[in-house]
Structure 1
Amino acid sequence: MRAHLARHARRVLIQHSRSPSCALYSAPTRRRQLIRPIAHGVVSYRTFFDGLFQKAPREVRQPEFEPGWMKIMVWRSRMLDNLRPPPTKELIQCWTIFFNAKLSSRVPLNATQAIQCRRLLDYLLQEISEAPAKTPLKLERKDLNNALTALRTLRPRERTPNHLDLAKSIYSTLNSGALGKQKKGRDTALWAQYIHTICLYGGSKEALEMLHANWDDVIGLAKNGDNLVVPVAQCLAREGCEQELVELLEYAEKNGIPFDKDTQAAIVSFFAQRDQVPETKHWFDKLPASGRRTAEVYPLVATFAVRNNVQEWAVPHFLELGDTKPEKPYWDSLLQAILIMGKGLKQVEAMMSHMADSNGPVKADTSTINGLLRAAVDLKDPMLAEDILSLATEKDLKLDGETYLIQMGLRLEAGYLPGVQAAYKNAKKLEPWHSNPDRWWEYCQLLNQYLSVLCAQKTTDFKLLGEHVSLAEEDQVQLDPQTIATLCIRFLENEQYFDVMDILSVHAFQFSAAEREIVQEAFVKFCLVETSTSRAWSSYQLLRQFFQDLSFEHRVSLMQVFFDRKRPDMASHVFGHMRQHRNSDNHPQLSTYIKFFEGLGQHPDTEALEMVFNMLKMDTTVQPNTRLYTSLIIAHTACDRSLQALDFWSEITSSREGPTYTSLEAIFWALERRPGGSKMAQKVWKRIEKMDVDIPPSVYNAYVGAIAGSAEEQEAQDIILRMGKITGVEPDAMTLGVAYNGFPGQQLQSRFQSWAKMRYPEVWTELEKKGKRMTRDSLCKFKLNRVFKA
């Protein structure tokens, strides 16, 4: 009855012209009969008005794709299915629209977009080369330049080989002449842009080779203010290439490019982060050609000095900087360094009064306070941060948006959520990211952390959480996949399914395949651990609708989850969705059919058996073997179809592979549940004896059950007595329990109980500990854990 209700449960259909397929949401629930109150005619039911004024169902958001991206995905899908792709002109237009939208929205390319765009570019170039002269196709150079600009200027969230391959394809196309006439010689500006781009995505080794091969161009660009040694050095440092980094800086200095302050910052940061003391000292002591280090390197060196107890080496450098009367950014960095070195805020305040540059005294301002606050962040000292804010108030320094962003980070670290909320409101009001892109990145990271912390609260304020999710959407903040996963699971636990659908509609289709897997993992884990079957089923429905790319392994594990929950009807739906999937990689395999039929052996369902068995008969990719036939015997026997189970035994005995121990156990179980099955069981047993093979206790127990199932009391007792000689193992609780459960009448069971108690008293005592249950035929049976495997 439960299975029937699950299949025909009420579905909530959101009918809207803009709603996607994922707007269909259904959750199988038990239908309960409504009990109307006895009102003796006093209460009238105004069904017409109730329907007229009923609140409309909530609208589900349409999945949001970036402009042009959906057409690219349609092209890729048709290519995989060997169908006619969209017209090439439309695809060229989609390329243009997609990258123009990227530059406008400032949303970086994810790994999936990078690989599909590279494939699309290869396809377009082939189509352009094969196009007839009468109808020429053309991809503009500016469109490829826009793509390269997007790769370079948009701060990446992922740095993958796919991005690198796309950059290489674009650059080689621009230099190949495939787009028509081009200037003679190499475009130095384009070459420099390419170097910058591949350095963002791990192409340091290739960039290094290109520098050495075109060193004259490197020198020329450096004279014009674009020192390519800097991005290559930063990339080598990021990838941990110590030897190549040192050799590059030494080579550059010997071959016409002076030691630069930015390259010094890169190599000092590299060694300082690894606590390599001699190397850090060497490269920091070495002055750049300009005679001045970068301001940002001083706080970094201060942290390194404290961590490695080399303050005596670092302090003279800080004193030397103060004596040169540097510009204000250096004073701000110096104050941070002093604070990190362990000096108190009073000493920092005293130094503020002595700040001066070549033009006279330098006054502290908001940026000075922000620098000190960042030092407090590095020290993880919230109390110091509050003292710094008090100092700002004393000096009448106005706080800006960056200050509130730093406050957010500090208070998140301290776990003071009211303070985080206040700082968040002030930061949103001032919006410091409009003037500095780095602040936008910082804001996005802090908001992700804040949402994760809100989700982690024991008593979650779902109203506040929903408001912040909406505000993040208004600001077009790209939430991290881990944040999205956490939000969805929290809303699923609270049964806010529409909120989950809205979140997934906005964010799920913006992620790469690797990022989507993070969200999928969270949903699958929720289905595994959630105690409520209804919630687990609802989670699966959302997972299926929004993540068609859900892996085959996850689908199989979800099928098993619903078997474990004793819901074979739900497991059959999961199996059916696999069978209907457009991607053949997600179709059920031989092992999947076996696992499903084994599940039905534990939790039978006739309708599920018929549905999947029909699928098997239509599936030409599956070649039946003994394991599959055994699983079919198990499933049909559990569903009270032991006659059909015998047909599969015939298939096994006539096959080249032949029977196995598990198939013998399965057929004996089928004969146990079939009237008169003992005759065939004895024939099978005689064939086994002729083969002269070792008999496992599990097979022998099944044979005992087959004999007992035909009410042959004396024969069953004799077989039990001979068990020790045949198997080498004496009867145990399972042997006696199988025999007792197999007898089809109370009198037979009673007589067998008396005999077993007398013959095997200790084993029977152990059996009775398992407890009993009442069947539909009013027979008592022991609770035996008989699990049949193929």
Structure 2
Amino acid sequence: MPSHSHLTRQVFRRLLANEPITARGCLRRRQYHVQAIQTRPSAQARRHDGVQLSKSVDRRRSFFQMFGLKPKKEAREADMDPGLDVMMDLERRTRLRARLPSKESVATAFEAFFKSKYNDHGSKVEDNQARLALQSLKYCLEPEVLNDPTTETIAHSEAVLTACICLNKRYPVSITSDHLELARSLHDLMADQAPKRAAAAVKSYIRMLCALGQPTEAREVLLLHEQRPQISPQAKDPEGHLPPSSADGAQYGALPASWGQILLAFCATGAQHEVTTTLDMVRERDLLATTAITRAMLKVSLSSDKIEEIERWWRAHHTVVKGNKAIPLSSRGMSFIASYARTVGLALAWCVFNSANDLGRSIVSDLMEENPPKPVWDAIFVWAAGTGKSVDEIGRMIEVMEESNDSGLEVEDHRLPNSATINALVAWAISKDDPYTAERFIALGRDRGIEPDAKTFVLQMEYRLHVNDIDGALTAYKNLQATDLSSDEDVLVVNNLITALCSSPRHDFDTIMNVAADLSDRRARFAPETVAKLSLLHLNRDEIHDVTDLLNTHAYHYSSVEKTRVREPLLAYCLAPTTPIARSWDTYTTIREVFDELDREARTNLMTNFFQRDRPDMAVHVFNHMRSHSRADTMPTSDTYVTAFIGTAKRRDLESLEVVHNQLKLDFNITLNTRLRNALIIGYTSCGRPRAALTFWDDIVASREGPTYNSIHIALRACEKAQFGDIKAQEIWTRLRKMNIELDNALWASYVGALAGNGNVELAVRTLEKAEREGELEVDGFVVGSLFMGTPGAEGQREVEGWARREFGGAWEELEGMGVEEMEDETRVFGIDRSVTP
């Protein structure tokens, strides 16, 4: 029987995952299908976690199951944000030039998408999502008729305001031009609307411009925003501080923050003179004494490493923060205090890193003029540790903080050490690769009744994974499970643990799946590297459905960069020569289903790989998938066709060649050129159809582009294999001589090979002897070898060998030095390269 704690854990897992709690011993259990955002191991691996969910109400054996046939497992539907499927459909139909969905449905999808992003505080608008949203917005704003009501409706809807707010929430993995264009479109749409809407639009637009390194444009946008009729100079209280935000005050509150972003963006680009110019503009607007500006300038000075500037802007920032005596610092809200504490931490960390101890003590002295809030105390403790204070000394500093509570503070304002205090110190010790000191800080906390929390165990896991102590990280992970994980602060490190377990040969599949299941049951997002590792793990166990479910659950929430980090390992696995062909094909089908954006180059590599592994049927399927695609960067080009023809030629697969050729005939995007026809000649010649191949030579001759030297070699190779090809070869040769084409040794070799290929060895020999006498040719090993290898049958080759030894002994010795291989029919092949390319 499992322990009570294990049972309790299983019950809460089911509740959090919205799954039924089913007793295995129950005779009449009813199962309900739940679409859960999770990845699950195979049936054998997850049987210990509970029953599998099914759409059926009861267990009944179907007709096919009576004979032992299992029903086919259905793949999980792709999990994506609401409305994203409609926006993807709009993009697809636009590419296909098909009938587009109604504007009402697209507008509804646009609203649903950003409403979902707004409600999910940890969610970001990734680059591919921004591109779809931008296309949808532009589509909805295109008036079909004069005064189209749909256009006006979306322009003044809450959806566009929500979109602006979402763009301001969190930076995505990669900010692209699509983010900028979306922010610009929203700004142009809302700039002249109500102040609150206009402020949200300008704030998101400036943020995107600064993030993409365009602070000059951002400053121009902000200046233009100030000139709009609804903008007026900001009123301040008697002490010179900005008033709290009101219904229409959001626009004013955004101004100092936006100026601060512009200052930091200029600093990031190294334009110090623009920082000075912008600061003058800020001073003209009487915004210098604001938290946002002084904080930004403090960060600018920290990047310049000028200690005088750092001290100056620290004083300015500290003065602004403590300046409003009517509102104590501890009463200004946790977000403000946390932001201030982070700024203090940055300044003190710079002092420690640059050994600026005098400045650090000066900053701490300023902070201690008044009893600082608890988060600021934590930053001071970390600074003290950085300056060499021992664990015991920091313990006495904590006692000083506790004693400060006797100075008449309200109970709710008491400064008491907690897990955040200890974790900040532990994080510092770990950053210095000092686990011993980290453990002493944990012991210091325990002495004061502060037990390690989730953050503490997360820090332990991070350090142990950093030193590749996977077993130690697993131990910390087990301790972590007994803590409150509601904040999801452990998700990143648990992802790293799963990745490390997948790479470790010492840990089994069940261990990995148990950790993955815990993360999955909490509906947490898997990191791209985690998804890639788990996918490869399932592929090596031939659990293709689990791979599909895993990718469908997570891939549609990733940015383009993150999707690449998932896709590339799968592509490498598919292309690896050690991967069994069946698994390679399964991997390809999964990649194709989930990563529709897979480009032409990657697909061509996959096609070539299947050709190299002697599976032209699979290669042609890959080609046909490219051919039927609607994306211009995926559909085959003439180079793709050439690669396919050469692949079929190497495998000598006539059926595959004809399939690709038929596709070429129907492809109106491809214009036949000499290179394509060269590839067709090579293909049909290799597949035993040299007469058909020579028809393309006639097309080349009749074309405006005409033949290349490669075309001549390729045509002569076809003549070598074709019945009565020597006659066609003589026609080609006669035309070349009439046109005074320069005939090098390689062309002579191809010509005599074509003559000998049809048994006309006597003519080939006479041709060589005559050319050598008249000084047109210097017979070498390659020419003799081409004549020898073009001659059919072992008997004919022996005759050529005897002639060559008598007439061109030096050339024959050169040929023998290249190595020879005897075939089953006693013919010999010398080590000369007679291959031709388009």
TM norm structure 2: 0.78
2:169 counterpart residue number: 153
For residues 476 and 727 of structure 1, what CA distance do their matches in structure 2 show?
Answer: 79
The 10-residue stretch of structure 1 (599-608 or 750-759) with the greater mean CA deviation from structure 2: 750-759
Does 2:86 match 1:71? yes
Which of 566, 579, 583 is the equivalent residue of 2:631?
Answer: 583
Which of 746, 750, 757 is the equivalent residue of 1:709?
Answer: 757
- SS for the counterpart of 1:419 is helix
Distance apart, 1:541 and its partner CA: 1.9
1:657 counterpart residue number: 705
2:242 counterpart residue number: 222
Does 2:205 match 1:198? yes
CA contact (8 A) 2:570 2:591 kept: yes
- SS for the counterpart of 1:772 is strand
CA contact (8 A) 2:573 2:579 kept: no
The 10-residue stretch of structure 1 (643-652 or 261-270) with the greater mean CA deviation from structure 2: 261-270
CA contact (8 A) 1:245 1:267 kept: no
Q: 1:525 corresponds to which letter in structure 2?
A: A
CA contact (8 A) 1:772 1:780 kept: yes
CA contact (8 A) 1:303 1:341 kept: no
CA contact (8 A) 1:233 1:248 kept: no
- SS for the counterpart of 1:329 is helix
Which of 290, 297, 314 is the equivalent residue of 2:360?
Answer: 314
For residues 139 and 706 of structure 1, what CA distance do their matches in structure 2 show?
Answer: 73
The 10-residue stretch of structure 1 (645-654 or 324-333) with the greater mean CA deviation from structure 2: 324-333
- SS for the counterpart of 1:781 is strand
CA contact (8 A) 1:736 1:764 kept: no
Which of 772, 776, 789 is the equivalent residue of 1:741?
Answer: 789
Distance apart, 1:743 and its partner CA: 1.8
Q: 1:650 corresponds to which letter in structure 2?
A: D
The 10-residue stretch of structure 1 (484-493 or 646-655) with the greater mean CA deviation from structure 2: 484-493
- SS for the counterpart of 1:222 is coil
Classify 1:251/1:610 alpha carbon distance in 2 versus 1 (closer, same or farther; 3 Å). closer
For residues 166 and 114 of structure 1, what CA distance do their matches in structure 2 show?
Answer: 7
Classify 1:174/1:99 alpha carbon distance in 2 versus 1 (closer, same or farther; 3 Å). same
Does 2:139 match 1:123? yes
Q: 1:608 corresponds to which letter in structure 2?
A: S
Classify 1:83/1:667 alpha carbon distance in 2 versus 1 (closer, same or farther; 3 Å). closer
Map of 1:602-621 to 2, 5 A cutoff?
A: 602-621=650-669
Q: 2:387 corresponds to which letter in structure 1?
A: M
- SS for the counterpart of 1:430 is coil
Map of 1:517-528 to 2, 5 A cutoff?
A: 517-528=564-575
For residues 87 and 93 of structure 1, what CA distance do their matches in structure 2 show?
Answer: 10
- SS for the counterpart of 2:645 is helix
Deviations 1:265-303 (A, max 9, x none): 433334435645554344335453336593323442343
Which of 462, 478, 492 is the equivalent residue of 1:445?
Answer: 492
For residues 365 and 318 of structure 2, what CA distance do their matches in structure 1 show?
Answer: 18
Which of 443, 446, 465 is the equivalent residue of 1:412?
Answer: 465
Classify 1:312/1:389 alpha carbon distance in 2 versus 1 (closer, same or farther; 3 Å). same
Classify 1:304/1:76 alpha carbon distance in 2 versus 1 (closer, same or farther; 3 Å). same
For residues 415 and 85 of structure 2, what CA distance do their matches in structure 1 show?
Answer: 55
For residues 58 and 514 of structure 1, what CA distance do their matches in structure 2 show?
Answer: 31
The 10-residue stretch of structure 1 (383-392 or 509-518) with the greater mean CA deviation from structure 2: 509-518
Deviations 1:375-394 (A, max 9, x none): 22433433332232232233
For residues 728 and 533 of structure 1, what CA distance do their matches in structure 2 show?
Answer: 51
Classify 1:592/1:254 alpha carbon distance in 2 versus 1 (closer, same or farther; 3 Å). closer
Classify 1:174/1:399 alpha carbon distance in 2 versus 1 (closer, same or farther; 3 Å). same
CA contact (8 A) 2:820 2:830 kept: yes
Classify 1:494/1:148 alpha carbon distance in 2 versus 1 (closer, same or farther; 3 Å). same
For residues 282 and 797 of structure 2, what CA distance do their matches in structure 1 show?
Answer: 94
5+ residue gaps, structure 2? 1-32, 36-62, 246-252, 323-338, 408-413
Q: 1:201 corresponds to which letter in structure 2?
A: M
Which of 292, 295, 300 is the equivalent residue of 2:341?
Answer: 295
Deviations 1:654-675 (A, max 9, x none): 2333322111111111111124
CA contact (8 A) 2:140 2:154 kept: no
Which of 396, 399, 402 is the equivalent residue of 2:449?
Answer: 396
Classify 1:197/1:657 alpha carbon distance in 2 versus 1 (closer, same or farther; 3 Å). closer
Which of 703, 710, 731 is the equivalent residue of 2:780?
Answer: 731
- SS for the counterpart of 2:829 is strand
Q: 1:594 corresponds to which letter in structure 2?
A: V
2:260 counterpart residue number: 233
For residues 541 and 55 of structure 1, what CA distance do their matches in structure 2 show?
Answer: 22
Classify 1:787/1:458 alpha carbon distance in 2 versus 1 (closer, same or farther; 3 Å). farther
TM norm structure 1: 0.82
Q: 1:269 corresponds to which letter in structure 2?
A: K
- Percent of aligned pairs sharing the same letter: 26
1:774 counterpart residue number: 823
Map of 1:378-777 to 2, 5 A cutoff?
A: 378-427=431-480, 429-434=482-487, 440=488, 442-458=489-505, 461-532=508-579, 534=581, 535-720=583-768, 730-732=779-781, 734-757=782-805, 759-760=808-809, 764=813, 767=816, 770-774=819-823
Does 2:299 match 1:272? no
Classify 1:370/1:245 alpha carbon distance in 2 versus 1 (closer, same or farther; 3 Å). farther
Does 2:61 match 1:61? no
Does 2:127 match 1:83? no
For residues 391 and 613 of structure 1, what CA distance do their matches in structure 2 show?
Answer: 77
Classify 1:197/1:418 alpha carbon distance in 2 versus 1 (closer, same or farther; 3 Å). farther
Classify 1:274/1:459 alpha carbon distance in 2 versus 1 (closer, same or farther; 3 Å). farther
Classify 1:579/1:743 alpha carbon distance in 2 versus 1 (closer, same or farther; 3 Å). same
- SS for the counterpart of 1:693 is coil
Which of 332, 345, 350 is the equivalent residue of 1:304?
Answer: 350
Deviations 1:220-250 (A, max 9, x none): 6932264632354145425615544454455
- SS for the counterpart of 1:699 is helix
For residues 664 and 544 of structure 2, what CA distance do their matches in structure 1 show?
Answer: 34
For residues 64 and 523 of structure 2, what CA distance do their matches in structure 1 show?
Answer: 42
For residues 274 and 496 of structure 1, what CA distance do their matches in structure 2 show?
Answer: 54
The 10-residue stretch of structure 1 (639-648 or 761-770) with the greater mean CA deviation from structure 2: 761-770
2:314 counterpart residue number: 284
5+ residue gaps, structure 1? 1-16, 20-47, 177-185, 435-439
Deviations 1:533-564 (A, max 9, x none): 51333322222222222212222232223333
Classify 1:537/1:721 alpha carbon distance in 2 versus 1 (closer, same or farther; 3 Å). farther
CA contact (8 A) 2:263 2:279 kept: no
The 10-residue stretch of structure 1 (253-262 or 611-620) with the greater mean CA deviation from structure 2: 253-262
For residues 710 and 267 of structure 1, what CA distance do their matches in structure 2 show?
Answer: 86
Q: 1:224 corresponds to which letter in structure 2?
A: P
Classify 1:786/1:596 alpha carbon distance in 2 versus 1 (closer, same or farther; 3 Å). farther
Classify 1:158/1:650 alpha carbon distance in 2 versus 1 (closer, same or farther; 3 Å). closer
Q: 1:680 corresponds to which letter in structure 2?
A: K
Classify 1:580/1:191 alpha carbon distance in 2 versus 1 (closer, same or farther; 3 Å). closer
Q: 2:821 corresponds to which letter in structure 1?
A: K
The 10-residue stretch of structure 1 (588-597 or 264-273) with the greater mean CA deviation from structure 2: 264-273
Map of 1:38-57 to 2, 5 A cutoff?
A: 52-57=67-72
